[in-house]
């Protein structure tokens, strides 16, 4: 029985790790678009994205509107199962917060396939 419980624990732990390691975009440099969560059709800025494994850095190359030049977001890409979205997290607890993205107080959402960075 103990062996079965240990096996179940190891399986569960490895599935949890595999979820985050399965970031659906390769390490590299990309151009992401910024979108406002409440007004997604309003044109916004392009951002330079650098992804290294599960680490992401989003940089605005020049000041524009409400956005300063420089790093706008940096953190770990985490799968947020509750919302079914990738987030830019800073601590393990970010994976399980109730609200993410948009105008919430939670971590920001990033669409890795569409290359979109969402903010309020």
Residues spanned by the domain of 108: 2-119
Q: For 6-17, what is each residue's pLDDT tens digit?
A: 333 333 333 443
The structural domain count of the chain equals 1
Tokens of 25: 């975009």
Residue 36 near residue 19 (C-beta atoms within 8 A): no
The span from the CA of 39 to the CA of 44, in Å, is 10
Map 55-69 to HEC letters. EEEEEECCCECCECC
Question: 11-20, 24-33, 39-48: lowest mean pLDDT where?
Answer: 11-20
- Prediction pTM value: 0.81
pLDDT at 24: 97
Query: 6: which residues sit within 8 A by CB, 6+ positions away?
Result: none
Cα first-last separation, the chain? 50
Q: For 50-108, what is each residue's pLDDT tens digit?
A: 999 999 999 999 999 899 999 999 999 999 999 999 999 999 999 999 999 989 999 99
pLDDT at 11: 38
């Amino acid at each position: 029985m103990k062996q079965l419980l240990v096996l179940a624990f190891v399986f569960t732990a490895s599935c949890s790790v595999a979820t985050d390691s399965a970031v659906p975009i390769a390490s590299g440099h990309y151009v992401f678009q910024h979108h406002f969560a409440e007004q997604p059709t309003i044109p916004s800025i392009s951002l330079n994205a650098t992804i290294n494994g599960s680490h992401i850095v989003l940089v605005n190359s020049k000041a524009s509107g409400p956005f300063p030049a420089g790093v706008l977001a940096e953190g770990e890409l985490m799968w947020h199962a509750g919302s079914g979205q990738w987030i830019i997290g800073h601590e393990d607890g970010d994976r399980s917060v109730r609200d993410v993205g948009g105008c919430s107080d939670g971590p920001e959402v990033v669409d890795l396939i569409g290359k979109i960075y969402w903010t309020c």
